[in-house]
Amino acid sequence: PDTVSLVYGLEPSEGMRRKARANLARSSVAVEWLDLPGEQIPLPDNSVDTVLLTFTLCTIPDWRAALDQMMRVLKPDGELLFLEHGESPDQGVCKWQHRITPGWKKIAGGCHLNRPIADLIREGGVEITELENLYVPKAPKFAGYIYKGRARKPSQPA
């Protein structure tokens, strides 16, 4: 909180913003809601220090456009921090993720259990600098495979 002056919250779901109100009321950092989907970020180019992506890349319909927008607003020396669930490397789990996803999307706000998050981030032109993968303890494996890491804009040639 000592080094953060403002947090932009990009959450298109009114229900999720309602859930966040109690925590925000206790926060010493100001939060400004941007009531738009992730594919449209109304901020200037190179204007934010850090983008935090948590459990949303599975749901954003046009993930590539959203990552393009995140990289557009991220400062050249900024960082993308991510914590996402997605496709498991375990073939048995992955098979079930692909089977369950069509129905799961309908009941879980568009969530795709089977998105290969690290691959999507790389395909979005982002350079992953740190990556950890794990299963959330006690969570069902089909929904609990985690991608946790840091990324940045690709290094610019001199």
Q: 12 to each of 75, 102, 122, how far by Cα in Å?
A: 23, 22, 25
- Determine the pLDDT at residue 8: 85
Model pLDDT for residues 109-147, shown as the tens digit of each residue: 889 999 999 999 999 888 999 999 999 999 999 999 999
The domain covering 36-152 belongs, at the CATH homologous superfamily level, to Vaccinia Virus protein VP39 (3.40.50.150)
Q: What is the pTM of this model?
A: 0.87
- 59, 111 contact by CB (below 8 A): yes
Task: Look at residue 5 in the predicted model and tell me its pLDDT.
Answer: 84
pLDDT tens digits along 12-52 = 677 777 888 888 888 888 888 876 666 678 889 999 999 99
Q: H/E element holding 135?
A: strand 127-135
Give 73's Cβ-side CA count (13 Å radius). 19
Q: Are residues 94 and 113 in contact, defined by beta-carbon separation less than 8 angstroms?
A: no
